[in-house]
Copies of this chain bind each other. A is one copy, B any other.
Amino acid sequence: MIMSKKHNFGAGPCILPQEVFKQAAEAVLDYNGLSILEVSHRSADFVRDMEETRNLVKKALNVPEGYTVLFLQGGASLGFLITAMNMCRDNKRAAYIDTGAWSTKAIKEGKNAGLEIDVVGSSEDKNFNYIPKNLNLNGSYDYLHFTSNNTIFGTQFKDFPAFDGPLVCDMSSDIFSRPINVADFDLIYAGAQKNLGPAGATLYIVKEELIGKSPLSIPTYLDLNTHFKKDSMFNTPPVFSVYTSMLNLKHLIANGGVDAIAAKNRAKADLLYGEIDTNPLFEGTAAKEDRSDMNVTFTLTNEALKDEFDQMWNDAGIVGLKGHRSVGGYRASMYNALEIDSVKVLTELMQEFATKKA
């Protein structure tokens, strides 16, 4: 078996545990005598595994009673619309915190769903390099929406916003990376392709009593009630993405769950941010107190060194380090499955570079 020998710092779809890749590949060849790719989603085997996957999500996050777990398709991009349509109430007005690209898209779809959207906090004034903390919650809002982690700008909510009403969160890029209190939320949604599984599945964790309460006329697929009533099997689900998510959740839980992975993620983040803060050739772009443990954004203090540094990390087998064009520089995404050894390869290389240039 050939395993990845590269250090994958890509922003997503991203690295998953090597053991999960191995098990997923095996299921493509043999899943109870068939390939997982040819198995009916109505077969007893897959119905059991879909149920198991939903239960493992609950187990991993300590999801309390009264919440359901659903797998849909379309990513957070369709989720922006689905959440707005389903969380709309009589005010037809919602509060959104704008922390950059993904929040901005969510705001646009909230409006496309027919809601009036108030941006109650924004960090646009500083190219989204921090998390807005003082919110202007001066209206009657159906819900408050925010993006827990911002892959492009490298910021992350450490404390979640206080709001006296339904709280909706796009948790695509940091769900399962740290403990959360699901009871604080009314709807969490997340594309699978960071810490859950392969692209193609989208997770929804929803307070059941909120389902089916929107005054909007919602098309069938976009109505969470459709999927809730059918145990997430309204139509053919993305079978392989769900199955591989199950493998990954089992791996997560067997290795200590979100508490253990949060400690590991913290150690990786401390290592890299420590290097950035002490190495004269680099500087971080996000406000220190809002720095993401998942996506570390940084730049060279001297842009003239770019080609040389790029050559170094390319030669070291590092991939996916190029920053997003809206921030420039570098972005080291360190999702759950990235080993600290890969981070060490990067930090040692940064040190070596500094020594060379001293």
Enumerate chain A interface residues (CB-CB to B < 8 A). Answer: 1-6, 8, 10-16, 21-22, 24-26, 28-30, 33-35, 37-41, 43, 72-78, 80-81, 105, 108-109, 112-113, 191, 193, 197-201, 217, 219-222, 234-241, 244, 319-320
Contact = CB atoms under 8 A, between A and B. Distances in A.
Residue from the set A37, A73, A105, A239 with the largest chain B CB neighbour count within 10 Å:
A37
A72 to B, nearest CB: 8
Given A236-B75, A241-B238, A10 B25 contact: no
A231 to B, nearest CB: 15
The 7 closest A-B pairs by CB, nearest first: A200-B238, A73-B73, A200-B200, A25-B28, A77-B235, A2-B30, A112-B219
B199 A41 contact: yes
Contacts of A200: 73, 200-201, 238-241
A78 B221 contact: yes
Contact of A236 (B1, B13, B22, B217): B13
Nearest to A29: B25
Contacts of A80: 220
A188 B73 CA distance: 20
Residue from the set A3, A112, A191, A244 with the largest chain B CB neighbour count within 10 Å:
A112
B199 A236 contact: yes
B6 A77 contact: no
B221 A81 contact: yes
A350 to B, nearest CB: 22
A37 B10 contact: no
A37 B16 contact: yes
B199 A239 contact: yes
Given A15-B38, A77-B234, A199-B237, 16 more contacts: A4-B34, A12-B40, A12-B236, A13-B38, A13-B239, A14-B38, A21-B28, A21-B37, A22-B29, A25-B28, A77-B220, A81-B219, A198-B238, A199-B238, A200-B201, A238-B241
